[in-house]
Amino acid sequence: MNNIKTILNTATKPLLYVGCHNALSAYIAQQAGADGLWLSSFELSATYRLPDADILTTSEYSHIINTISDRIKVPLLVDADEGHGNAINVLRVTREYEKNGADGIVIEDNVYPKQCSFYSGKKILEDPKLFCGKLKAAKDSSSADFFIGARTEAFIAGLGIDEAMNRALMYQDVGNADAIIVHSKIDSADEVLQFAEQWSNCGGHIPLVCIPTTYNKIKYDDLYNAGYSLIILANYGIRSTVNALKDVYSTIINGDSLSTGNKFVCPMTDIFDLVFINLLKDNEEKYINEFKK
């Protein structure tokens, strides 16, 4: 198991965890240099053509976690929504995700069933005391090395810096979270930077994490220097995939031959490398052909 807690507390540069949704996207992100992977509920739900509204089951998540963790070496951090229910659900979620190869989870303080942070409509947050119960359930049902991140949606709900800070401190002190994920959906980094500036002065001492989807022009180093040790690069995997598929499918359907799509696709040999064809051949020789002699 990769110990995300140790990695975070000893980081000397911003750690970049890239959003993924299956084993292929995870491996490509790792090969590109990602420090870790973020199994995003937004991305995974989209692959099922479902909204990000806590519809997928623990078993469906566990299956994907298993297929990813078996093929990567970097840490795998799982977006566990609000825990898929109450604290009793969290007990099973945490146990199953760790068993299937996750190195940690992030739980958010939305009520069940959660709605994606970027969907329109009023956001209602979980009572912070009940949320601390979820964090304790996650701690009690996992190993000492398993990472439990607490994500506050106070800014998303429009509740301001004081509510965000009070919740984060409670999740640290009562819930014993390993890090605080501060989420914001405005188009500047003002909220997350304000939070980081006040965090240590208010008694915060665990690492901070951010997800700069909407304020994506800020430099990684600027976020790191402000206090964010881990930066989650969420949902670009699925959004770029959608764009690429739209382009190539439209081109080959409306063109006069399949070759009109050649500019969009990689060589077949690249796919062979991604799925370890050479390893397959080596194993066939070792375990099949050798015994035919």
Query: Choosing from 35, 52, 54, 79, which is the catalytic residue?
Result: 52
10 Å CB burial of residue 136 (0-12, 13-18, 19+) is middle
- CA-based end-to-end distance of the chain: 40
| Paired residues of 79 in beta bridges | 106
Active-site residue, 178 included: no
Q: Among candidates 202, 109, 115, which has minimal Cα distance to 159?
A: 109
- Cα–Cα distances (Å) from 78 to 4, 205, 209, 268, in that order, read 12, 23, 14, 31
Question: What are the residue numbers of the active site?
Answer: 52
